[in-house]
Structure 1
Amino acid sequence: MKNRKLVITHNIQQDLVEKVKEVIPDWEIIVGRDRDIWENHIEDAEIIAGWKKGIEKECLHENSKLRWLQSWSAGVNSMPLEEIENRNVILTSANGVHAFPISETIFALILGLTRKIHSYVRNQQTKTWDHANLNLEIHGKTIGILGIGAIGKETAKIAKAFGMHVIGIRHSSKEEENVDEMYTTEQLNEVLPRCDYVVVTLPLTKDTFHLFDSEQFQLMKDAAFFINIGRGEIVNEEALTYALVNEQIGGAGLDVFEKEPLPESSVLWELDNVIITPHTAGSTEHYAKRLFEEIFIPNLKDYLAGKTPSINVVDYKKGY
């Protein structure tokens, strides 16, 4: 009888590999980022950690041995969810791994825009000494956070440290620590006129696609800043560009876009009131460690015990 097989399609530290081996000592474990390392093992894998585009042909067929798929990202919208569900494969996400680095990025963008750091960096390139009309601060301002998951909660905690008034928006209006007021997504338009900062941390689903359109930007304050680290398709990028060019809002910090990489022809590159980062908000030195120690290995122990993994199991109907 062949050994059961786990394929990890990324490079991870050897100490993490050893921790996995302690849990499944009799399994064959294939580890590596290069396709040559794992492509001949995908068809036999019972568990795959790290989805790669195109592998569905090898692991989602009628005789597939795949039973559990661990996503390397929090969002799973780019994966063939219907096919995975039809094969009765358990899917778990990396939700929670990103709370620290993404909340840090959110406030880097907020502070950069508010204190004109992006303008001063540009001026430094040309040795220009200019005040840039700096006059804003974030203390005492109102921040609206769309999505009060791990990232939203950490963002709210940091916001309170700056003395900000925190408004949370999510499907449920259940109260949350560090959030002063909670509303549902159906109440978004009521909340937007009150916010000095609007932060999007939502996953992309059929319900969040183009949640932000012309109407939403028109409702925002003309000095408000818009931060998107969720998914680009949550925002109608044409409407956002119009709002920025015509100063309907004060500016934007953008880590995600409808098309990535952001085309060189995009007007967003040229705007002085925009900070662009290349979908790197979640990048961190601790990514793999958190993914394996906090999510994958605890779930692996449950799986071996005949239980369904309990951490970050994706609800196929919701899409996250």
Structure 2
Amino acid sequence: MRSLIVILGAATLVAGLGYWLTPTQSHPPVHPEVLTAGAHAEQPVAPSVPGPVSHASAPALNAGIEAEQGQQVRGEFARDRRFQYLQRLQAEGGNLQQWVNELVQRCGAQKDACQTLLEQELEGYPDADFADRLRALLPRYLGYERAMSALVMSRDLSPRTRYQRVDALRTEHLGEADAELMFGQERAWADYRFGYEALLAKASSLSTGERLQALDRLRRQSWQDHYEALSDLEGRHGAYRREKEMLLLGVTDSRQREALADELRTRHFGEQEADIVGLREEELSLQQQQREGYQQARAELEQSMSARRNLMSEEAWQQQYQEQLRQLRRRWFSEPAN
């Protein structure tokens, strides 16, 4: 995945795939209650009969037993958490690269070290067939990683073509079934993002209702078995932003634009939260207009000052330019910018 980001290049796809790069903790921290498991040993009661009887070794012996038991409990707890995480990825399908990437990073991508670590991670795993599948998959995945590091593609290729070549390389090394197990959700998300760009290009020929219907069909066709996971990935805000962009494309009347956006916000967030989202959007829009206005004014200032550069000394020119730049910043931002 590290190399995939560089290869894809396009900002839209990178934004979508950013989700898969979020590191996931395979070994959650042990709960504090587990760390304190085990009762304290009671002090031995002195015998009632006379005579020197020593129990000095009993507390140390009990403490040692308790420490060993506590360590065993902690180990079992950590193992169970690892298994639960892997079982969830196994059940979901299509996103196992999170788990494999983390393992490969820990073993330094060295074949023997990775196989040893994999055996440790899978010891006692309840699904023996799936464990065998991972054992067979790991060396092929390491081969794919090496091939990826050597892959060179022209920047003239479209993002879709570059992604298709990467996906073909995965299938070549892993086989279709294991490539889907590892990258199925990413495939579905990429298909959705590329499809969205294509749909956006022809949205102006559709009515507002047809646009949203087409976007919903695209989600279902692209995501298929991964619909729930990728719907959570897109979230309310992501879905709202794309639907808003789709609806407002080509709409120039300000009142109509605001009415469409207001209806969409209410549908996604409810009336109360929709008002908050609307106010935030207004604030961001004003900030964007301010930045664009300042950049335009600065470009005009630099063009004007360039024409006067040969008419005065460099020191006088720099002094005049910096003073006008400070005035420009005050005018747009109320105070000097750094």
Please indicate the TM-score interval, normalised by the length of the shorter structure.
under 0.3
Greater share of helix: 2
Task: Tell me the TM-score normalized by structure 1.
Answer: 0.21
Question: Which has the greater radius of gyration?
Answer: 2
Task: Tell me the TM-score normalized by structure 2.
Answer: 0.21
Greater share of strand: 1
